Amino acid sequence: MRDILREGNEIIRLLAALITVLVSAVGASAQDAEPAPITSVRITSPLGRTGLAGVVRIVAQVHAPPGVTSPVRFFVDGALVGTATAGPPFAVEWADENPFERREIVAETEDPLGRTVRDTIALPAFEITDVTEVTSVLLEAGVYDKTGRFMSQLTPDAFRVTENGVPQSLDLVTREAMPTTLLLLVDNSRSMSRRMEFVHQAAGRLATSLRPMDKLIVAPFTSHIESVTGPTTDRGTIVAAIDAMQASGGTAIFDSLLDAVQLLDGIEGRRAVVLITDGYDEISVNDVDTALTAAARAQITVYVVGIGGVAGISLKGETTLRRVADQTGGRVFFPPREIDLVPVSEAVATDSHSRYLLTYTPSDQNKDGTWRGITVSVADGYRVRTRAGYFAPKPPPIRPTVEFTATDRQRAYVSITADDLEVLEDGVPQTVDTFQEAVDPVSIVMAVDGSGSMKKSAEAVREAANTFVDAVRAEDKLALITFSDKPSFAHLLSTNRDWSRAAIAQYQTSGGTALYDALWNSVMHLKPEAGRRAIVLLTDGRDENNPGTGPGSEHSLEDVLTLNKSVGATIFAIGLGTKVDRAGLERLAQETGGDAYFPATGGELADQYRQVVENLRRRYVLSYTSTHGAHDGSWRAVQIVPRMPGVQVKTLGGYFAPEPRDAAGRK
């Protein structure tokens, strides 16, 4: 018994030693393994392009252990553009000289162990939106008698065209021979297995009907279009592709028809699809309406050859196939026997080659993206086959640009990213396309109260105004307007600071306070200016005439705010003393995304002007493609909702959509 216990104890001792060795080995391995980086860097601006060449501020956020900082290097397309040694935020300025070329931005730094960590973003090329007009419509039409014979001798005056029921004047009617590209879209699904020989014969017959100028694409399909042959004129290549087709898999007619339309995109001349199928669609993701819409937009004719498969052609399938042919201006055939393929192939060839070309300029030139139904008729009861209509060009997308500030409850500026914001237009969420710090030049109008009540503060006003002039950037344009009984421009927008200083030196006080007329004139002066715009207003009183018995302006506060909605100037209001219209000045700032300041004495003015300059330097700009694309001239309310608690965002509040245009292209 003692021997057994002794052996058991020895085994336990050995196991304990082994466990100790294993634990030590695991610990050593853990020490040898390289720890994960505890520093990360993320580029937060810019995200996207604005389409304007100019200076862009590249900003990166760095998360590192407390007290650990390392320089952040910024590269554009592999070239170092700057190093930021102080932050947050870590930022450098870069001249985006060509926003129409793709750029790659990299920010990198080191973690405490000296390892490089980086973030990379791609700035895609700015997209140019083509503005298209509904200048003319081209129709291909076939005209047939009651027996189906093509009528080839019609004169232009025989045709009548209406668009949405409105008669149209034809510009041209002709029979012009044009090259045709036929795409043979052949059903190779399992349901066609018993008729594949028939399918081969049908496809072969259609291939032999080509003219020397025509090309053919062979595109077998099941759940999708499979290997494509063509475009080609070589009969041997076409026949080999047809002979290689075998039945297997499910059927997706509508998905494959949609793919066929895309395959024909960009091919010149007449384009047509010859769909050979039993009409049984079991797995398409898209429906028939989607496929027909695509064919209509591409102006592609679809001919249908219905061949009954294992279960024949159902009534639903026949109805759908007839609709596909009718709405695209094609024809549908249901040949029951091989011998009937000869007239079918001849009819398709004749129909695709024997077409009239009609053009007209629509009386409705609105770019509204709507469907325009077309009817073409001729005398003597002849039947006309043409497409059912077309989609008018859509108006160009609306891409608002919103400038804003983000501050905490103590009005301290907050660094944010696009991920920290939600953008709503009339309550509908929008997707941000571009986001960056606002560094573009600003056009600024200084509006300074020169009424008699400002006399005691005149010297302080001159000093503070000069402080502001010295603080704005050299590339910013300044204008100065003073107002008493009426507003008067001391000088217009310019980067010449000597003009500003000379105008400030001549500042005089007298008369009443035409406050809103001065603001109206300031907004009007900024209206033709591109880019960022701001007004810095200084006043010590209300809008009133010199006796103080009535308004001092012809315009009102509402007039100014309404006008500014279409201009988008940010208004900074400085109300000096206790007799100002505090509520009015606060409203001016709130509804334009600016700020209001209320110094008690003239000695505080310089500090208020510095705060305005700081505000202009700590702003963000984002843009998005509006989900409401109508050009209706309506006001669209825009909210930028911060996801960070305690953050406040100030913006202009919205924008006016572009005005609709009439048939002559006028607003």
Q: In this predicted structure, which of 40-49, 98-107, 199-208 has the lowest mean pLDDT?
A: 199-208
Mean pLDDT of 126-138: 64
Structural fold of domain 442-618? Rossmann fold (3.40.50)
Q: Taking the CB of residue 63, how many other CB atoms lie within 10 A of it?
A: 11
For the CA atoms of 340, 346, 348, 349, what is the dihedral angle to 10 degrees? 160
Task: Decide if pLDDT at 77 tops 70.
Answer: yes
Looking at residue 62, what is its pLDDT? 87
Give every CB contact of residue 13 below 8 A, 6+ residues apart in sequence.
none
Query: Average pLDDT over the chain, rounded to whole?
Result: 85
| H/E stretch holding 588 | helix 582-590
Residue 161, token pair as written in the block: 């065209």
Kindly report the pTM of this predicted structure. 0.62
CA separation for the pair 252, 11 (Å, rounded): 70
Mean pLDDT of 122-142: 72
Query: Are 58 and 92 a contacting pair, CB within 8 Å?
Result: yes
Mean pLDDT of 140-153: 80
* Ramachandran area for residue 89 (φ above 0: left; ψ -120 to 50: alpha; else beta): beta
The CATH number of the structural domain formed by 40-123 is 2.60.40.10
Give every CB contact of residue 298 below 8 A, 6+ residues apart in sequence.
261, 264, 265, 271
Q: Which of 115, 141, 123, 230 is nearest to 181 (CA)?
A: 230
Alpha-helical regions (H) of 209-314: 235-243, 253-263, 288-298
* CA 444, chain centre distance (Å): 30
What is the C-alpha radius of gyration for the chain, rounded to an integer number of angstroms? 37
In the chain, domain spans: 40-123, 137-175+360-391, 180-353, 401-437+623-656, 442-618
Share of the chain above pLDDT 70, in %: 89
Residue 210, token pair as written in the block: 């080509």
pLDDT tens sequence across 378-426: 977 788 888 888 888 878 889 999 999 999 988 899 988 999 999 999 9
Q: In this predicted structure, which of 30-44, 210-224, 603-617 has the lowest mean pLDDT?
A: 30-44
The SS3 assignment for 83 reads strand
CA separation for the pair 417, 455 (Å, rounded): 46
| 192 φ, ψ (degrees, to nearest 5) | -100, 5
pLDDT tens sequence across 265-297: 878 778 889 898 888 898 999 999 999 999 988
Residue 454, token pair as written in the block: 């400002």
pLDDT tens sequence across 458-496: 999 999 999 999 999 999 999 999 999 999 999 999 999
Mean pLDDT of 190-200: 80
Looking at residue 16, what is its pLDDT? 43
Looking at residue 127, what is its pLDDT? 65
Output 552 or 344, whichever has higher pLDDT: 552
Residue 7, token pair as written in the block: 């052996």
Give every CB contact of residue 234 below 8 A, 6+ residues apart in sequence.
none
pLDDT tens sequence across 297-342: 888 889 998 887 555 688 888 999 999 999 888 888 888 776 776 6
Residue 529, token pair as written in the block: 């200016």
Q: Classify each residue of 16-31 as buried b or exposed e, where b means 16 or more C-beta atoms within 10 Å of its C-beta.
A: eeeeeeeeeeeeeeee
Q: Which of 395, 388, 387 is nearest to 370 (CA)?
A: 395
- What beta strand segments (E) does 499-546 contain? 532-539
Overall CATH class of domain 180-353: alpha beta
Count H helices and E strands in the chain, helices first.
Answer: 13, 35
Residue 40, token pair as written in the block: 């990360």
Within this chain, domains 40-123 and 442-618 share the same CATH topology: no
Strands 159-163 and 166-168: antiparallel
Residue 207 DSSP symbol = H
Looking at residue 52, what is its pLDDT? 62
Band (352; pLDDT cuts 50, 70, 90):
low
